[in-house]
Amino acid sequence: MLVDHPNVRKYITTVREAHSSAFALHSETAILLEDAMTTPHPHKDELGLTLDMLFVQGHKAHISVMRLAELALVEDAATITRRLLELSIQAAYITEPPDDKGRRRRAGMYLAFMWRQFPRRFRESFPSTLKAQWSKFARSYGRFVRAKAKTWGPNWKEMFEQTGHLSTYTSDYAFLSAIAHGRPDEQIIAFSGPTIRVTPHHHVSGLLIFASRYYLGLGMLWSSVHQLLPDAAAEDLLRRLREWKPG
């Protein structure tokens, strides 16, 4: 599929018109959060740095969902939407403790694990001041991450459960995983007809809205530390994303 082909441009227009309200809310979310993210600010501490790392990843994932949705590549859009949910739940888990020490410990665990995974040959060539900073994270928090751990913290289900969002795991996470892996019901129906639609777009609106909810939630957790998101605008947008219904 060549994106600059006239037929593809025509299809993108068709998809955007069919899901105009969802694309509009996705764009509003992207603009609101990008304005906050691109405002110069220091990392402050372990918590601020970790939330910055998660937020920047969320920014790119949110844009990716829109580009994939335009082409109705829904399996891949669902995969990236699920990634946004994973980024958001990590931020929720890190900021969940009521005390600053607990939040910084969880953020430090994330950073220590990242440094542990960073290839040794690259560490050696790192500037001394930066190497000292990351080594400090590893010394301070590495003991809270098991030596052979595959991830920095609990598994996804445990994170959802510990933050009070288990229902999101059993509904949204499971639904997105099913789309990402090719739901059996849709595959059987699609391949039982005389013709096959390669890129049906019936999931596009839902994926755009889900992605925007998770990204905005991540942004609001990020802003709880950096104080750069206009609270009233964010709350109003979150309400509209939650209340959105397909036309």
Residue at 136 is within a domain: no
Per-residue pLDDT band at 199 (split at 50, 70, 90): low
**110-162 pLDDT tens trace:** 999 999 999 988 888 889 999 999 999 999 999 999 988 999 999 999 999 99
Residue at 166 is within a domain: yes
Q: State CA 184 to chain mean position distance.
A: 26
Give me 168's structure tokens. Answer: 């999101």
**Between the CA of residue 33 and those of 93, 204, 215, what are the distances in Å?**
21, 21, 9
Residue at 116 is within a domain: no
Q: Which amino acid is at 161?
A: E
Helices 74-95, 204-226: crossing angle, 10 deg rounding: 20
Dihedral (CA of 101, 113, 147, 119) sign: negative
- State what percent of residues in the chain have pLDDT above 70: 91
Residue at 47 is within a domain: no
Residue at 231 is within a domain: yes
C-alpha 238/C-alpha 103 separation (Å) is 24
Place of tokens 């990236």: 80
Q: Rounded mean pLDDT of 197-201?
A: 69
**Between the CA of residue 6 and those of 1, 2, 12, what are the distances in Å?**
11, 9, 10
pLDDT of residue 202: 83
pLDDT of residue 198: 60
Per-residue pLDDT band at 192 (split at 50, 70, 90): low
The total number of structural domains that make up the chain:
1
Residue at 22 is within a domain: yes
**Closest by CA position to 91, among listed 61, 121, 134:** 61
C-alpha 88/C-alpha 52 separation (Å) is 12
pLDDT of residue 122: 87
Is there a contact between 104 and 45 (Cβ–Cβ < 8 Å)? yes
Residue 13 reports pLDDT greater than 60: yes
C-alpha 235/C-alpha 224 separation (Å) is 13
Residue at 8 is within a domain: no
Is there a contact between 218 and 177 (Cβ–Cβ < 8 Å)? no
pLDDT of residue 2: 57
**215-225 pLDDT tens trace:** 999 999 999 99
Q: Rounded mean pLDDT of 22-40?
A: 97
Residue at 70 is within a domain: yes
pLDDT of residue 102: 97
C-alpha 146/C-alpha 168 separation (Å) is 27
Q: Which domain holds residue 193?
A: 16-42+55-98+153-243
